[in-house]
Amino acid sequence: MRTPLIAGNWKMHLAPTEARKYAIRLRVRLADVRGRDILVFPPFTALPAVIEELGRSGIACGGQNLHWEKQGAFTGEISAPFLADLGCSHVLVGHSERRHIFGETDEDCGRKTRAALDAGLTPILCVGETLEQREADATRQVIERQLAAGLKPVQEDEKFVLAYEPVWAIGTGRTASPEQADEVHRHIRAWLGSRFTPDLAARVRILYGGSVKPENVDDLMKLPDLDGVLVGGAALNADSFDRIVRFLP
Ligand code: PEP
């Protein structure tokens, strides 16, 4: 019922010229893939080239961040309508690098989620605990807080995606074990059922992110409440990303 979603976050990698070449490689390599949604998040400056190359390939494109205002005196920021105007369909909200390096708050995430929805974009709200929080047994509490704030302005009939990304697993080579991921994904779905309705909980896709690679994707994708992956480092290599997209069910 939930189509698997495989998303690649290119972070601050690939200038427009390289990004265009990489998009062409992905378009060609992934042309035969069916039954899974594919999405890439290039840096802002590469979006026009990547969107142009991906065209009608079926691979969608999104922004890595946005500002919650539509326009105004916010030097250096990009708004949701700007991303939509380029042809983006999705946008990341609250990636841990935005929260931890750039000081984004839970409240900022709620504003960004609302702005994305108002512009017709699907937000992917990222949540996840630090190692310290996990060791203090605060994982559930942290995630519930991030979900409550990030989804505060969201209505039952609106479309969004969630990504569970334990901070200690991002870019570290350390992946959550299937058991650890399973526990949190189940908890998030149960939380959705009580905050919204069981119907919404059954239809929202919950991705896992944190050092996903060809070697661990198959085991992760077997988990019943895990509907896809958000991939950083391994999304920058066509062989790895291709293998991840072709995870074995
Ligand atoms: C990410 O950037 O969202 C991510 C999960 O990175 P990595 O796969 O490199 O851990």
- pLDDT given for residue 249 in this prediction: 83
What does pTM read for this prediction? 0.97
- pLDDT given for residue 62 in this prediction: 98
Residue ID of nearest Cα to ligand 1 atom 8:
232
67 among known catalytic residues: no
Q: Which two tokens stand for residue 24?
A: 């062409």
Pocket of ligand 1 (CB under 6 A): 9, 11, 165, 170-171, 209-212, 230-234
What does the pLDDT look like over 35-87, one tens digit per residue?
999 999 999 999 999 999 999 899 999 999 999 999 999 999 999 999 999 99
- pLDDT given for residue 1 in this prediction: 85
**Contact indicator for 152, 110 with CB cutoff of 8 Å:** yes
Active site residue: 53, 67, 90, 95, which one? Answer: 95
- pLDDT given for residue 163 in this prediction: 98
Stretches in the chain below the pLDDT threshold 70? none
Angle between helix axes 106-118 and 139-150 (nearest 10 degrees) is 40
Q: How far is the CA of 7 from the centre of ligand 1 (A)?
A: 10
Distance CA 100, CA 131 (A): 13
CATH fit for domain 5-245, picks 3.40.50.300, 3.30.160.40, 3.30.460.10, 3.20.20.70: 3.20.20.70
Q: What angle do CA 244, 39, 76 make, to 5 degrees?
A: 125
Residue ID of nearest Cα to ligand 1 atom 4:
232
